[in-house]
A and B are shown apart, each in its own frame.
Chain A
């Protein structure tokens, strides 16, 4: 995929986010120096002062769009990027800051700031794909760094990334976990949540809270019925869907089915 005999250029961009997904790249302690021999890390302000301007072969985009300036900036970045990959729940669904989409932002600003009139922000937090064409989405809050390396390797080699869209339940079965929802009636979003974490929460004896967002074709209402059977009320179910991927359509619809 590289320009004749040159290593491909990588850029890392930040929008509204916690920095955790781009930190995942620096957390690849065993791979980062090798990666830097195969890819030119041309723009990554969190790690490097100098930057190479122009066009990039791969852009990793973290964060959601929450300001007019950022809505314009993502267009410019798209124009300069050959492959644009969104990393994490903020970039792929709008993140936890998308809770504003269901509230009055003016009220939010007044709660947090002494001078809300200085705040310039959009009423909604939206995923990158609402603004530009996205070539690949990597899920998670935060992303799984193994999957990040896989996606970059896949691009370098020219194969498809291996990031199955099945449910967390499949990962539990592969791990040999006993189902905590069935055996202990612990509320768990595993049946509707995209795999990628390695069934982390159930392995620590707690329910999945959906940080990888919806799996492909989730049946959220069936899960909600089960959650009601084990004693969750509407309000609690609504909160369960109202976290890091609240703006992802299947989660948003299920949240709204349980009141506003």
Chain B
């Protein structure tokens, strides 16, 4: 029996430590495993006994790539418990901060992690030798995303300005002035990025995914909305646990999420948001999506680079509109009235739905915490993609086939540091 194994011991150009093993028999993919060997850090355990005010600073450290997402899900879960709902400029500032993170994270992935797969390079620095302008414009856009994070959050990695109830300090209007011109340039460059990405050579592969993302009546989702799917799901974050389960499967490492009722894998992230919320994109973004030929729907995960590029245009568009309308609020936060109980929230991290739940006692100390990162939720879907798609690439030479497997994983921009919840796995060598 012709049997071969494609093994990638250490996946490159993803955040964190993971490997990959695909077993092929008679030209058919028998199994595909995403192995996460990132050591556990036990955040949910040591959150117990911490004061709720410490939460945004601590959970940020789960991920250096998307700390804002952790801060946002945490403060919204706690505000859900305290009965606080931010409005006006404070709400807008939170959206602005999230725009900065989407831009920084998506542009990093588009230009530095994913583009080299399409253009045939080992990494962005190698790619810059032949495509200097392309890499430079990516770096410049990423920097402007980081500028937003730095101004609103204090710094780009592990921002310090977020607190339950608002911000420690609300920026003055004139602090934003230099950013507005930069954002206009960046939006134009983001448009060019979409046009460039639309011309890439995509493998023609589609799957009928269950997409799960937040949905909001008036806007493309960042911090608010119901958890919805293209299969009729429509719940609030409070009911997350009733509909989704985390499984600790013996062969694998990180916990894997599945839909509780049918046991199916599902997909979160740019592709899910895009398919469920296309109508809420800005007119400019929609127009570009039409021109790129994926208006309204995209089920090809290799095109996620194009969807990310569209979300970057949207994020620059949205950031610009928030900045133009910004007035410094009178107070940078609303007062919290402490109360015991449970709070829930899901927000849209760059990589997808990020669910947090906290239970507090009367003194404001955390009794219990649950955090479900997007990469955990996407793991089962990544493996299904490998099983379904890799069979079609069998005529490729070994090295290219391995590369194709890696690219299939990188479609998801997996953040393994986040997903760790993990354990160590022994790999069977065939």
Could you list which residues of chain A lie within 8 angstroms of chain B, going by C-beta atoms?
Answer: 14-24, 26-27, 29-30, 32-33, 36, 41, 44-50, 66-67, 69-70, 95-97, 99-100, 103, 105, 107-109, 111-115, 118-121, 141-142, 197, 200-201, 203-206, 209, 211, 236, 239, 243-244
Nearest CB on B from A19, distance (A): 4
B42, CB-defined interface residue at 8 Å: yes
Selected contact of B112 from candidates A47, A121, A203, A205, CB within 8 Å: A47
Candidate in A27, A121, A200 with the most chain B CB atoms within 10 angstroms? A27
> Are A107 and B45 in contact, with the CB atoms below 8 A?
yes
> Are A33 and B417 in contact, with the CB atoms below 8 A?
no
Could you list which residues of chain B lie within 8 angstroms of chain A, going by C-beta atoms?
Answer: 10-17, 38-46, 48, 50-51, 54, 57-58, 61-65, 67, 108, 112-113, 116, 122-126, 128, 132, 135-136, 139-140, 142-143, 146, 154-158, 160-161, 163, 168-169, 246-248, 250, 255, 406, 415, 417, 421, 423-424
CB within 8 Å for A48 and B61 given contacts A24-B157, A119-B40, A200-B160: no
Nearest CB on B from A115, distance (A): 5
> Are B143 and A30 in contact, with the CB atoms below 8 A?
yes
> Smallest CB-CB separation from B416: which chain A residue?
A19
> Smallest CB-CB separation from A236: which chain B residue?
B51
CB within 8 Å for A46 and B14 given contacts A204-B161, A204-B169: yes
> Are B57 and A243 in contact, with the CB atoms below 8 A?
yes
> Are B14 and A204 in contact, with the CB atoms below 8 A?
no
Selected contact of A19 from candidates B16, B139, B160, B423, CB within 8 Å: B16
How far does the alpha carbon of A135 sit from the alpha carbon of B103 in the complex, in Å? 36
Contacts of A16 in B (CB 8 A): 38-39, 41
How far does the alpha carbon of A41 sit from the alpha carbon of B12 in the complex, in Å? 14
Nearest CB on A from B417, distance (A): 5
> Smallest CB-CB separation from A41: which chain B residue?
B125
Nearest CB on A from B77, distance (A): 18
Q: Top 9 A-B pairs ranked by shortest CB distance? A: A20-B64, A48-B123, A114-B248, A108-B45, A50-B122, A29-B143, A49-B12, A29-B139, A18-B64
> Are A27 and B45 in contact, with the CB atoms below 8 A?
no
> Are A70 and B136 in contact, with the CB atoms below 8 A?
no
Nearest CB on B from A169, distance (A): 17
Contacts of A103 in B (CB 8 A): 45-46
Nearest CB on A from B5, distance (A): 19
Selected contact of A141 from candidates B61, B62, B124, CB within 8 Å: B61
How far does the alpha carbon of A203 sit from the alpha carbon of B123 in the complex, in Å? 37
Selected contact of A121 from candidates B40, B43, B126, B246, CB within 8 Å: B40
Selected contact of B140 from candidates A29, A114, A119, A141, CB within 8 Å: A29
> Are A36 and B122 in contact, with the CB atoms below 8 A?
no
> Are A121 and B39 in contact, with the CB atoms below 8 A?
yes
Nearest CB on B from A240, distance (A): 9
CB within 8 Å for A36 and B417 given contacts A16-B39, A23-B157: no
How far does the alpha carbon of A124 sit from the alpha carbon of B339 in the complex, in Å? 34
> Are A46 and B125 in contact, with the CB atoms below 8 A?
no
> Smallest CB-CB separation from A120: which chain B residue?
B424
> Smallest CB-CB separation from B113: which chain A residue?
A47
Selected contact of A49 from candidates B38, B122, B163, CB within 8 Å: B122
Contacts of B10 in A (CB 8 A): 45
CB within 8 Å for A32 and B158 given contacts A23-B64, A141-B61, A142-B64: no
Candidate in B39, B44, B126 with the most chain A CB atoms within 10 angstroms? B39
Contacts of A96 in B (CB 8 A): 41, 46, 58, 61
Contacts of A66 in B (CB 8 A): 39-41
> Are B157 and A33 in contact, with the CB atoms below 8 A?
no
Nearest CB on B from A33, distance (A): 6
Contacts of B62 in A (CB 8 A): 18
Selected contact of A109 from candidates B38, B42, B122, CB within 8 Å: B42
CB within 8 Å for A142 and B157 given contacts A45-B13, A50-B122, A113-B423: yes
How far does the alpha carbon of A36 sit from the alpha carbon of B255 in the complex, in Å? 38
> Are A201 and B154 in contact, with the CB atoms below 8 A?
yes
How far does the alpha carbon of A204 sit from the alpha carbon of B44 in the complex, in Å? 28
Candidate in A15, A67, A96 with the most chain B CB atoms within 10 angstroms? A96
> Are B125 and A32 in contact, with the CB atoms below 8 A?
yes
How far does the alpha carbon of A197 sit from the alpha carbon of B157 in the complex, in Å? 12
> Are B154 and A200 in contact, with the CB atoms below 8 A?
yes
How far does the alpha carbon of A244 sit from the alpha carbon of B265 in the complex, in Å? 35
Selected contact of A209 from candidates B57, B125, B126, B421, CB within 8 Å: B57
How far does the alpha carbon of A103 sit from the alpha carbon of B43 in the complex, in Å? 13
CB within 8 Å for A111 and B57 given contacts A27-B157, A47-B123: no
Contacts of A236 in B (CB 8 A): 51
How far does the alpha carbon of A33 sit from the alpha carbon of B131 in the complex, in Å? 12
Nearest CB on A from B333, distance (A): 11
Contacts of A24 in B (CB 8 A): 157
CB within 8 Å for A33 and B39 given contacts A23-B65, A26-B112, A113-B421: no
Contacts of A105 in B (CB 8 A): 42
> Are B46 and A211 in contact, with the CB atoms below 8 A?
no
> Are A18 and B63 in contact, with the CB atoms below 8 A?
yes
Contacts of A22 in B (CB 8 A): 64
For the A-B complex with A17-B64, A119-B423, A141-B158 known, give 5 more contacts whose Cβ atoms are closer than 8 Å.
A14-B16, A16-B38, A36-B125, A36-B128, A205-B168
CB within 8 Å for A33 and B136 given contacts A23-B64, A200-B154, A201-B160: yes
> Are B58 and A243 in contact, with the CB atoms below 8 A?
yes
> Are B139 and A33 in contact, with the CB atoms below 8 A?
yes
How far does the alpha carbon of A247 sit from the alpha carbon of B89 in the complex, in Å? 40
> Are A48 and B13 in contact, with the CB atoms below 8 A?
yes
Contacts of A243 in B (CB 8 A): 54, 57-58
> Smallest CB-CB separation from A31: which chain B residue?
B139
> Are A47 and B423 in contact, with the CB atoms below 8 A?
no
